[in-house]
């Protein structure tokens, strides 16, 4: 989700530049790779966050009993007919949410049945929806596949037309992002009334075209861990492929920690870079 103004390179003894190192006596520019990697992190986070919010809302007692509820600054409405739908509306002006980010606009989830029910399908569309500096549009489809991953509640998330426009004043740009991923409830299944303790594992692939025009794809090699407490994945590793760049492969490592560091390590050619997301808007989390 987040602001991406700076990155830091952990210096190697033989390297004296922030964004490049020596290869065959020539400088190698890793900036295109880092832009692509940061776009991937943002896309992953935005659409995973939408899933987490809807999963939480689908179990909200006030929403179930009354047909509407205010959930983390958004007015959420359940519409039963003529077709089942959940509307999440933050309004026309930015609202500060409990995670420290601001949001505005709305999105809808058209349902075949309640999201928590097995075999349900939710089709999500966005309407003037912003998260912090990002405008989000496109379509996301969530499918409840029942308890199929070792008996754990499992969802499929498919994004095939995601467009994120970053309104950053320094480096504005847009990128496309899509995925076909599986999210399964690793912890919290025994406490459905307390969705805040849920931990989802995310596996699968994603793809996109970065703001610099380079196509990329990723695959999860260690499950990404998604919780309500962390703005980013709490841990997990993805490989990233960028066939049109000089450096065609890399690794994204969400730094595992007991707390939410908001930091991601990027590895290219054995060089380690890292970036802390939301650094300009949130207090430091150690």
**Cα distances (angstroms) measured from residue 146 to each of 19, 46, 93, 95, 184:** 46, 24, 37, 34, 10
* Residues 173-213 pLDDT 10s: 899 999 999 999 998 676 666 666 789 999 999 999 999 99
Q: For residue 262, what pLDDT is reported? A: 82
pLDDT (mean) for 147-171: 87
Two tokens, residue 50? 């939408």
User: Quick check: 105 and 131 in contact, CB under 8 A?
Assistant: no
If pLDDT is split at 50, 70 and 90, which confidence band does 28 have?
confident
| 37-72 tens-digit pLDDT | 999 999 999 999 999 999 999 999 899 899 999 999
DSSP E strands in the chain: the ranges are 8-9, 20-23, 26-29, 68-71, 74-79, 85-89, 95-96, 102-111, 121-131, 134-137, 139-149, 152-166, 173-187, 199-209, 215-227, 235-241, 249-254, 263-268, 271-276
pLDDT given for residue 157 in this prediction: 98
- Can you tell me the distance from the alpha carbon of 48 to that of 53, in angstroms, rounded to the nearest whole number? 9
CA neighbor of 91 nearest in space, from 79, 78, 99, 103: 103
Given a contact cutoff of 8 angstroms between Cβ atoms, the answer to whether 232 and 224 are in contact is: no
200-223 as b/e, with b when 16 or more CB fall inside 10 Å? bbbbbebbbbbbbebebbbebeeb
Nearest to 162 by CA among 134, 183, 121: 134
Residues 6+ apart with CB under 8 A from 240: 36, 37, 40, 216, 217, 218, 249, 250, 251, 252
Instruction: Over range 21-47, report the average pLDDT.
Output: 83
Cβ atoms of 222 and 237 closer than 8 Å: yes
Q: Is the pLDDT of residue 161 over 60?
A: yes
pLDDT tens figures, 117-128: 999 999 999 999
Contact 90, 104 (CB under 8 A): yes
Report the range of poorest mean pLDDT among 151-165, 208-222, 251-265: 251-265
CB 71 within 8 A of CB 57: yes
Strands 95-96, 74-79: pairing is unpaired
| Cβ-Cβ contacts under 8 Å for 124 (sequence gap 6 or more) | 50, 54, 107, 108, 109, 110, 139, 140, 141, 142
Highest mean pLDDT among 135-139, 225-229, 262-266 belongs to 135-139
Is-above-0.95 flag for pTM?
A: no
User: Radius of gyration (Cα) for the chain, nearest Å?
Assistant: 19
The DSSP 8-state label assigned to residue 108 in this structure reads: E
What pLDDT is attached to residue 9?
34
pLDDT for res 286: 34
Give the containing element (helix H, strand E) for 191.
none
Q: Which residues pair with 220 in a beta bridge?
A: 238
- What was the pLDDT predicted at 191? 67
Which letter does DSSP use for residue 260 in this model? Answer: -
Whether 19 has a pLDDT exceeding 50, the answer reads no
Query: In the chain, what percentage of residues exceed pLDDT 70?
Result: 82
Mean pLDDT across the chain: 86
Residue 80 has pLDDT above 50, yes or no: yes
Contacts of 186 (CB under 8 A, 6+ apart): 152, 199, 200, 201, 225
Q: Is pLDDT at 158 greater than 50 in this prediction?
A: yes
Q: Which of the four pLDDT bands, split at 50, 70 and 90, describes residue 277? A: confident
pLDDT at 40: 96
């Amino acid at each position: 989700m987040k602001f991406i103004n700076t990155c830091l390179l952990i210096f190697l003894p033989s390297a004296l530049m922030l964004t490049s190192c020596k290869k065959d006596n020539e400088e190698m520019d890793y900036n295109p790779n880092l832009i692509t990697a940061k776009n991937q992190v943002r896309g992953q986070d935005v659409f995973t966050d939408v899933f987490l919010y809807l999963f939480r809302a689908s179990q909200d007692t006030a929403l179930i009993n009354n047909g509407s509820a205010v959930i983390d600054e958004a007015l959420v409405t359940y519409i039963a007919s003529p077709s089942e739908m959940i509307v999440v509306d933050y309004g026309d002006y930015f609202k500060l949410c409990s995670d420290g980010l601001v949001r505005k606009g709305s999105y809808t989830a058209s349902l075949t049945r309640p999201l928590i029910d097995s075999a349900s399908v939710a089709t999500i569309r966005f309407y003037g929806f912003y998260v912090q500096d990002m405008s989000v549009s496109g379509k996301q489809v969530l499918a409840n596949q029942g308890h199929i991953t070792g008996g754990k509640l499992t969802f499929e998330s498919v994004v095939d037309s995601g467009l994120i426009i970053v309104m950053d004043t320094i480096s504005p740009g847009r990128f496309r992002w899509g995925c076909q991923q599986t999210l399964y409830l690793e912890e919290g299944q025994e406490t459905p009334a307390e969705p805040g303790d849920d931990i989802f594992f995310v596996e699968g692939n994603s793809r996109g075209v970065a703001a610099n025009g380079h196509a990329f794809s990723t695959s999860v090699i260690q499950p990404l861990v998604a919780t309500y407490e962390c703005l980013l994945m709490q841990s997990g590793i993805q490989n990233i492929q960028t066939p049109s760049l000089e450096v065609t492969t890399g690794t994204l490592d969400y730094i595992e920690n007991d707390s939410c560091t908001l930091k991601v390590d990027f590895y290219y050619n054995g060089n380690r870079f890292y970036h802390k997301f939301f650094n300009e808007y949130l207090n430091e989390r150690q």
